Structure 1
Amino acid sequence: MGIEPQDCVVIEDSESGFEAAHRAQMRCFAYQPQGPLPQGRMFGAVSFRKMQDLPALLDL
């Protein structure tokens, strides 16, 4: 599609999705309403619990 990985954002809720975003070198936000997984299973994803919090995170 011609879009660079650093210009993409992934919103994911599974460990395999976090890993895929990490391997693709894309910024990943982890939707985890029950609380975050242990850091070693996050693959660098930024955890958030409420969808209302996502717009502020995208501004980072």
Structure 2
Amino acid sequence: MKETNLKIAQQDIEDALKTVEDIEKVINEDGSSKDIIKEKFESLNEKVKKLEDILKSEGII
């Protein structure tokens, strides 16, 4: 895997994990909004798609 793609993939993974943590926090808070959860999930989905594209370009998946 190219060094630049590796760094990008690592950052995407870290961003995705942070988003999951944010989703958990929102779910656990009282009065959590479905709109906020949906927004966070859509953000997570985008990050995972970017990571998938990098892994595909490297022939990993």
Higher helix proportion, which one? 2
Q: 1 or 2 for the larger relative contact order (CA 8 Å, sep ≥6)?
A: 2
**Which structure is larger by alpha-carbon Rg, 1 or 2?**
2
Greater share of residues in strand: 1
TM-score normalized with structure 1 length: 0.23
With normalisation by structure 2, the TM-score equals 0.23
